[in-house]
Amino acid sequence: LAETETVRVGMYRTMATIACCDEVFRAKLMGGEVTLSYYSPRGQEAISAGVAAAIRPSDYMVTTYRGLHDHIAKGVPLRPLVAEFLGRATGTCKGKGGGMHVTHPASGLMVTTGIVGGGLPIANGLALASQQLGDDRVTVVNFGDGASNIGAFHEALNLAAVWKLPVVFVCHNNRYAESTAYSKGTAATSVAARAHGAYEIPAVTVDGNDPLAVKEAADEAVARARLGSGPSLVEGLTFRFMGHFFGDAGSYIPKDEMHAARELDPIPRYRARLVSDGDASEAQLDLIDSQVRAAVDDAFGFALDSPWPAPDELRFDVYAQEALI
Ligand SMILES: Cc1ncc(C[n+]2csc(CCOP(=O)(O)OP(=O)(O)O)c2C)c(N)n1
Ligand SMILES: [Mg+2]
């Protein structure tokens, strides 16, 4: 069924999978069943779904500690993904990276980093490799609004523009960097204005709660990169529904601001849109929801039944040549 569905309905499945997986992580953390550092992407599903629908499986992606939404959208298989978040030997990095360092080259998810802004120069490196190899790949790098205040953001945009790298910078502007509101820390009306004004990079700000708007902007940016015309920046305006990390109550967010943001929750909104546009019936979307729930439960079952990495594993995957250890 999933193979034959349209791109528009597929984006719903992606968003539902992200939200369901996030819900189970939070429920298990709340119940004390699992322990991990967790940064919820709830509310930001549409940006990941829209961008992923604009690229190919062979394209590269870089993301952050909040990257569960990007990992799922890029197609990292759920079983090893959840196992990695839970630190199990069956994870994408044998449980040695955790959610903040998920890497899965087979699905093009190359780097997850906890260093704010650190992914942008790495994405340039991947894009430079593609440019030199002529492999026709595009690299997408996801980051937050706060990252646009980091030096690496400016260095990366400048160099990508000078070298015309096939990279798409995707800013998930969720209006907060930890507890700092956008307007308190950022001297620009938008992140797109910085890219365009300072580095002459084509840049747009779109409704990040609408996967169709995100996909349209990403389609253009990806086409530009693929043609060799250089980088673009897509900024999606969205909101972080949970605290910065699991355990942060977000008390610094005014109640009316949170209430207004939740009114724009991308998932019920997109669901209603698909039904009113005739893409799918409520029953079809309910079926997707139940399939998603089964897949997520299966992944958690698999992960929780998996062993921890053996202590001896510490010696491996540290250097490129294991013989040197
Ligand atoms: C270089 C660096 N500085 C500071 C931190 C601490 N830190 C972690 S997340 C974060 C906020 C980043 O906000 P934003 O880029 O908007 O991303 P969001 O968390 O909203 O997704 C900060 C300051 C860090 N991890 N790395
Ligand atoms: Mg932010």
**Token representation of residue 305:** 């039944």
Residue percentage of the chain with pLDDT more than 90: 95
In this predicted structure, the answer to whether residue 1 has a pLDDT above a threshold of 60 is: no
Find the Cα–Cα–Cα–Cα dihedral 157, 163, 167, 173, rounded to 10°. 10
Closest ligand 1 atom to the C-alpha of 66?
21
- pLDDT for the residue numbered 195: 98
Q: What is the pLDDT of residues 15-38, one digit of tens each?
A: 999 999 999 999 999 999 999 999
Say if ligand 1 is within 6 A of residue 314 CB. no
Find the Cα–Cα–Cα–Cα dihedral 80, 288, 12, 57, rounded to 10°. 40
From 132, 129, 220, 136, select the one nearest 170 (Cα to Cα): 220
Confidence band of 268 (pLDDT split at 50, 70, 90): very high
- pLDDT for the residue numbered 322: 57
Q: How far is the CA of 163 from the centre of ligand 1 (A)?
A: 27
d(CA 280, CA 193): 37
Q: What is the pLDDT of residues 197-225, one digit of tens each?
A: 999 999 999 999 999 999 999 999 999 99
| Ligand closest to the CA atom of residue 248 | 1
Say if ligand 1 is within 6 A of residue 147 CB. yes
104: β partners: 109
In this predicted structure, the answer to whether residue 325 has a pLDDT above a threshold of 70 is: no
- pLDDT for the residue numbered 3: 63
Q: What is the pLDDT of residues 58-96, one digit of tens each?
A: 999 999 999 999 999 999 999 999 999 999 999 999 999
Distances (CA, A) of 5 to 15, 102, 197, 281: 15, 28, 40, 13
